[in-house]
A and B are shown apart, each in its own frame.
Chain A
Amino acid sequence: MNRQQIETRLREIIAKRVRNISSESIDMDTELTALGLDSLGFSWLLADIEDTFEFVMQGSDILKLKTLSGAIDYVENHVSK
């Protein structure tokens, strides 16, 4: 899976967890908390990432998902291994 494909899937996942936002309108560097994602939302985001990209995350890895660009970097590092 290349970076572009990861980005597309992540946009879909985040849009699913954040109300009233389309996948295309998520800014690369906007903090996800600013979009309205709370701690429960982050738990589900983590679950969605695991299910989509087929790897297990640690709870503290959520700290690496502050923004869309951070999430892309994080997932890319894992799926490329």
Chain B
Amino acid sequence: MGGNKAVKVMQETDRLAVGKLLTKRAHIAPNSRALLYYKQQTEYTYGEFNKIAGDVAKGLIAFGAERGSHAAVWAINLPEWLFIQFGCAKAGIPLVAINSNYRAYELEYVLKQSETTTLFIADGASQPGEYLAAIYEICPELRTTRPGCLQAARLPALKNVVFLGKEQQPGMFTWQGFFAKSKTISDKELAVRENTVKGEDIFTIQYTSGTTGTPKGAMLTHSSYVINAFETAKYQGLTPQDISCIPLPFFHAYGCIAVMAAVAAGAAIAVIEQFNAQELVKTLEGCQATAVCGTPTMFVAALEELSHHCYDLSSLRGGNMAGAFCPPQLVQAVVDKLGAREFGILYGSTEAIISIMNRWDDSLEHRINTLGQALPEVELKIVDPQTGETVAAGTAGELCIKSPSRMKGYYKMPEATAQAIDSAGWLHSGDLACIDTEGYCRITGRIKDMIIRGGENVYPAEIEEFLTTHPKIKDAQVVGIPCEYYGEEVVAFVRLQAGQSATPLEIKRYCRERIAIHKVPAQFLFVEQYPQTASGKVQKFKLRELAIQLLSEKIHKNRGACQNEQTAN
């Protein structure tokens, strides 16, 4: 609990600006390890981290970037990503975090919609040069312009492009060239600028992962993140002695708050540049990580890796899982097989960061089966989605959140903002949940995912959890598709355990014997993978489209066969 005391001391003095958070941390413990890249065998102390972030801020000031103008970063989890993030924070420049899986079309949309003036760009994620090819495609003027003098027809706000590499690229500053500019700004000028940044200023614009449609840029303030960072660090019991492994992408809110929590606690961060189960487990072992956070998909893969190879993970004690429905069996397996005895699940969103969380010392039953309780200063209510009336404890309804970490709104999308946040300031999450009399919360589904089959509400999360009780099923995703008779029909995509085979009828019979018939999926489609966002969130809308396509092909095939038979008869 000594760590909680250290966290508290900082919270009272520096809870408002992200740049100051790092400055203070570097002042307290300059030689403490901050960033560990195990695969690359690279480390940075808090002193080095803060110095480089300061240089980034100076470079931006040298560019003439005004407070409130926007910079963007498009890269995997490189060290530069964090230097840019904290550098922008020190300079009072909101950072647009671009999804590392985006392609040219999405990049153009986000850069244009966010009115980004400076872009930091890496070489690529899955293919060498892919990011560069994308930016030259949407911004061909770069090829013939001098660095810093860009005038692009499709991206009129964009002025500077900085390449996160050594090679000179047409129209771009190199990372070193950018640092050369920073030398023209003094430490005093940086300190003056840093002192102007207030808690209520926008720290980051994070685009929602697009499981539901057009990306919207959620604007989060410095204080939103800093308050949340201290609370989540406290709930995890993080201390300066901890090493928190983060395989989550930094552009995602969950990855971002995991970093902030570690910085708030003075813990070291073991970074995975791009998720890979083997690298994750090797890093946990090699860095002797004490905590790990990730999505269910990541932990399923990590457990799979552990089933094939032996690793010493005895240092691991805690961490958390979020980003999608977390099956209790999976959380239990993380506790048992990874040995993370203080591990638990939590609830967050891009729009309000972490709102509900288990404390490290909550009972195992709560940490496995519930999201925990509301963080301090966070208010929750559950309302009837139809009437908007608050429902009784234990009753399912839409989860609404009031939090100091709630977004200010979606950038230049007032209508979407008004849909998400009501006039009383409640963020309507779109998630269905229930809260018991002790304040522990459980998610029961999503309003938009909710299937209405023949007038009965079916919550996919419930069916998904149930399906994992079948010994042959690893996990499942449930969607609703249009049905002439029931209005909607329940379809389950299923991943089987390794080496298992099953028939749809066999699984159906298992369901019929155990759950209400209206919840039994009409169709079972066996798959190897689900379409996912970069952060590991399953894209249900794509599964829905796939189900409609596959089943309509099946119908046509059957109809064709029937017609052929009738013709033959």
Contact = CB atoms under 8 A, between A and B. Distances in A.
Contact of B522 (A40, A59, A80, A81): A59
Contacts, number: 57
A40 B489 contact: no
B512 A47 contact: yes
A70 B554 CA distance: 20
Contacts of A6: none
B504 A59 contact: no
Contacts of A25: none
B304 to A, nearest CB: 29
A53 to B, nearest CB: 10
Contact of B555 (A47, A54, A58, A78): A58
A39 interface: yes
B454 A39 contact: yes
B341 interface: no
Interface stretch (B165-173, B203-211, B382-390, B479-487): B479-487
A42 B486 CA distance: 11
Interface residues of B, number: 26
Given A54-B505, A77-B562, A62 B517 contact: no
A58 B483 CA distance: 9
A24 interface: no
Interface residues of A, number: 21
Given A40-B517, A44-B517, A63-B484, A56 B504 contact: yes
A55 B506 CA distance: 10
Q: Is the interface of A mostly helix, strand, loop or mixed?
A: helix
A44 B555 CA distance: 21
A58 B565 contact: no
A58 B523 contact: yes
A2 interface: no
Contact of B509 (A51, A80, A81): A51
Given A43-B517, A47-B517, A58 B551 contact: yes
B474 interface: no
A56 B508 contact: yes
A20 B484 CA distance: 30
Contacts of B489: 58-60
Contacts of A21: none
Interface of A: 39-40, 42-44, 47, 50-51, 54-60, 62-63, 77-78, 80-81
Contacts of B517: 40, 43-44, 47
Nearest to A55: B505
22 contacts: A39-B454, A39-B455, A39-B486, A40-B518, A47-B508, A47-B517, A50-B505, A51-B509, A55-B505, A56-B505, A56-B523, A57-B522, A58-B554, A58-B555, A59-B483, A59-B489, A59-B522, A60-B483, A63-B484, A77-B561, A81-B561, A81-B565
Contacts of B508: 47, 50, 56
Contacts of A62: 485
A47 B509 CA distance: 8
B491 to A, nearest CB: 10
Given A43-B517, A55-B505, 15 more contacts: A40-B518, A47-B508, A47-B512, A47-B517, A47-B520, A54-B505, A58-B522, A58-B554, A59-B522, A60-B484, A60-B485, A63-B484, A77-B565, A78-B558, A81-B565
Given A80-B565, A81-B561, A59 B485 contact: yes
B464 to A, nearest CB: 19
Interface string B536-569: 0000000000000001001100100110010000
Nearest to A39: B454
A43 B524 CA distance: 16
Contacts of A44: 517
> Quick one: which of A44, A57, A77 has the most chain B CB within 10 A?
A77
Nearest to A54: B505
B351 to A, nearest CB: 35
B550 to A, nearest CB: 11
A14 to B, nearest CB: 17
The 7 closest A-B pairs by CB, nearest first: A59-B489, A60-B484, A59-B483, A77-B562, A59-B522, A62-B485, A43-B517
B329 to A, nearest CB: 26
A35 to B, nearest CB: 18
A62 to B, nearest CB: 5
Contacts of B558: 77-78, 81
